[in-house]
Amino acid sequence: MNTRTGALDAVVFGVDVQSGDVRGDAPSYALVVFDGEHLERDVVSHRKLRRRIESEEPAIVATDNMYELAEDKDSLVHFLGELPDETKLVQVTGAERPEPLSRVASRHGVPYAKEPMKEAEAAARLAAANVGQEVSAFTNTTEVKVSRGRSTGGGGGWSEDRFTRRIHGSVKRRAREVESELQGAGLDYEKDVTEKYGGFSQAIFTVSARPQDIPVSRERAGDTRVEIERERRDGIEFRPLAKRRDHVVVGVDPGTTTAAAVVGLDGSVLDVFSSRTVDTADVTEWIVEQGRPIIVAADVTPMPETVEKLRRSFDAAGWTPQSDLPVDEKQHRTREEGYDNDHERDAMAAALSAYDAHEDQFDRIAQKVPPRVDTGEVTARVVAGEESVETVLADLGEDGDGDGGGEAEENDEHQPRELTEEEQTIKELRQQVERLQDHVDSLEDTIEEKDDQLAEKEEQLSQARSDERIAVRRDREVTKLRRKTERLEYELEEERERNDDLEGKLDRLKALWKLDHSNFADVSEKKQGLTSVKVVDQFTTGAIRQADESIGLIEDDIVLLRDASGAGRSTAQELADVDPKLVLRTGGLSDVADTILFEHEIPVAPAEMVTVQEVDELAVAREEEVEAAIEDWEERAEERRRDRNAEMVDRLISEHRAGERGESD
């Protein structure tokens, strides 16, 4: 059977040091790119190797020593973390105690020569054949973190509270989008959010999946950013590329619901499954994943055609009972095993009964096999191939004529006659062979025709795999472009909102400019001699800044305070820094605010002295009333200065007299 896996359906990079050392001078690497059919050879630097891995995303990066790519454990973990999501690092020579590459290549029939390019090619071919250990430093748990994309210290003319609220709202909105995508993909996750003013400061999703299985990508756009990081293991872990395939006994129960069970050569049940939707190919694939069948068994006689096809496909021995196994016998034989339905019970009973029938033979074979020889391989050839133990051992290069060899051979030769039941089974099988021999000739033509069809199908499958690889790469690019488009659309929407705000502000500034510079030539004659007034709702720092942001406050402006009470020193200083021409107040000023404005010689007058008319968001007043209010303030200011000077003189005189009295005393 063809047991090739998906490794040959994708690109494999074989790597070996060409010159230098990763711990010292910058090394160069022999690189072999293998896609299952073609080879590409190149010599690259460490940096170029990493760039090619990042851009081409091979399925496997294969090497005979993982520390040729990283100088120590921390560097190796960093290297693994930078690999593309679909790329594995494979050490083809084993795990913690690697073998020489030459020995591994020889064992698997891969060409080898002791030069870097040949060693890189051997590593690539071995990895493509599922030889080696995957090097892993991360678990299958991934942390997706949605957080702020910029500081909340304010910016761009926004008030700090509004700016912070907007950022936290954006983080909350993006976190909900990420959660929706995780739910849509059916992924298990845990969520931990940190709530802040206006939304979230961050949201962390711990997802039970690898990054490539998560429909969210790393991004940083405007107010938010998304970071993806796999959970790191405590150390480096090795996992074989292919599962170990031991020799097993298989029981099959065909029908509307097909069931199969696998039993090891020690009599233990390894696995069982059943399904209503699988076909023969699916059952074959499942069995291949469990091990290499020596015996394929059924619980009825004669063997059903479906089971017989499976037996032939594995070139295994067949086993059926003398008569159909009774239900109570099957229940008794499987009483200590777990199963979900009667079909699984029947398949398990067939496998266990076949094992019972051959248990003594398995034990005798195991006793004859030397310690260094694979007992399963010898058992398979003796049981399924009907060879003697000695013949198999001789073929495997072992000496089968050791102590007791002649006796063992004699025992093996007369083995069938030890059990009457086995003698009867062999006789029936020989008779069946004689009857079927006549049918073989007619089947040979059919086999040849099927072989031709199979070759054609394999060619079609190869083309389909090539087309599928192209489609997968195209779909991957489409997905990346779609995510980029969504991000750009989001940024465009933000820019449009910002543009709308700026256009509104521009319109207001244009209107103010007309009031300040056109002398009202574009309004009626009755409005000649007007000047603009800028309205501030309250005498607070926030209200002053908001007015500055929306309409702009500049020197020589006329400012109307709708509520002048409550201002402190810093608020009064904020307004004084603008240096307005006149401040019209509604209500009374605090003493400290009145003092600061007076010291900065900023005229202040009651709002009742000037007639203010509002036009939309703007306001106007007659220039003659404004000038009159300023003149009135100047008169009051002059009188206030005189009073202040008089008080100062009186204070100085008092202090002088107090000083004279002190001297006379």
Q: Which tens digits make up the pLDDT trace of 279-291?
A: 888 888 888 878 8
* Per-residue pLDDT, 530: 80
Output the CA–CA distances (angstroms, integers) from residue 278 to 273, 281, 286, 350, in the order listed: 11, 8, 10, 20
321 pLDDT above the threshold of 90:
yes
Q: Helices marked H in 558-615 — which ranges?
A: 569-578, 591-599
* Per-residue pLDDT, 437: 67
Per-residue pLDDT tens over the stretch 165-220: 888 889 999 999 999 998 888 888 899 999 888 889 899 999 988 888 888 888 88
* Per-residue pLDDT, 417: 33
What is the arithmetic mean of pLDDT over 20-42? Answer: 86
Cα torsion angle, 354, 355, 359, 363, sign: positive
* Per-residue pLDDT, 640: 85
Residue 636 CA, distance from chain mean position: 75
586 pLDDT above the threshold of 80:
yes
**What percent of the chain stands above pLDDT 90?**
27
* Per-residue pLDDT, 615: 60
56 pLDDT above the threshold of 70:
yes
What is the arithmetic mean of pLDDT over 299-308? Answer: 93
What is the arithmetic mean of pLDDT over 387-404? Answer: 64
Which pLDDT band, with edges at 50, 70 and 90, does 521 fall under? very low
**Number of H helices and number of E strands within the chain?**
17, 21
Q: Residue 234: how many CB atoms within 10 A of its CB?
A: 7
Distance CA 516, CA 514 (A): 5
Which pLDDT band, with edges at 50, 70 and 90, does 524 fall under? very low
464 pLDDT above the threshold of 80:
yes
* Per-residue pLDDT, 250: 95
* Per-residue pLDDT, 242: 65
More confident residue, 503 or 535: 535
* Per-residue pLDDT, 421: 58
Which pLDDT band, with edges at 50, 70 and 90, does 402 fall under? very low
More confident residue, 319 or 159: 319
Instruction: For the chain, report the end-to-end CA distance as a whole number of angstroms.
Output: 128
| φ/ψ bin of 385: left (φ > 0), alpha (ψ from -120 to 50), beta (otherwise) | alpha
Q: Helices marked H in 420-568 — which ranges?
A: 420-517, 541-550
Which pLDDT band, with edges at 50, 70 and 90, does 157 fall under? very low
Which pLDDT band, with edges at 50, 70 and 90, does 29 fall under? very high
Which pLDDT band, with edges at 50, 70 and 90, does 89 fall under? very high
Per-residue pLDDT tens over the stretch 338-362: 888 999 999 999 999 999 999 999 9
469 pLDDT above the threshold of 80:
yes
* Per-residue pLDDT, 550: 81
Which pLDDT band, with edges at 50, 70 and 90, does 411 fall under? very low
* Per-residue pLDDT, 322: 92
For residue 532, give every residue at least 6 positions away whose Cβ sits within 8 Å of its Cβ, in sequence order, or none.
Answer: 512, 515, 516, 557, 558, 618, 619, 620
More confident residue, 581 or 614: 581
| The CATH number of domain 140-240 is 3.30.70 | yes
Pick the CATH number of 6-131 from 2.60.120, 1.10.3470, 3.40.5, 3.30.420: 3.30.420
| The CATH number of domain 247-398 is 3.30.310 | no
Name the DSSP letter for residue 525: G
235 pLDDT above the threshold of 70:
yes
* Per-residue pLDDT, 404: 37
Distance CA 588, CA 606 (A): 9
Place of tokens 């499954």: 273
How does the average pLDDT of the chain come out, rounded?
82
DSSP letters spanning 361-396: HHHHHHHHS-TTS-HHHHHHHHHTT---HHHHHHHT
* Per-residue pLDDT, 413: 34
* Per-residue pLDDT, 323: 92
Asked if 164 and 152 count as a contact pair (C-beta separation under 8 A), the reply is yes
400 pLDDT above the threshold of 70:
no
* Per-residue pLDDT, 222: 81
Measuring CA to CA, which residue among 19, 36, 240 is closest to residue 124?
Answer: 36
* Per-residue pLDDT, 510: 66
7 pLDDT above the threshold of 70:
no
Mean pLDDT is highest, among 34-38, 91-95, 441-445, 484-488, for 484-488
For residue 547, give every residue at least 6 positions away whose Cβ sits within 8 Å of its Cβ, in sequence order, or none.
Answer: 534, 535, 536, 537, 553
Residue 132 CA, distance from chain mean position: 25
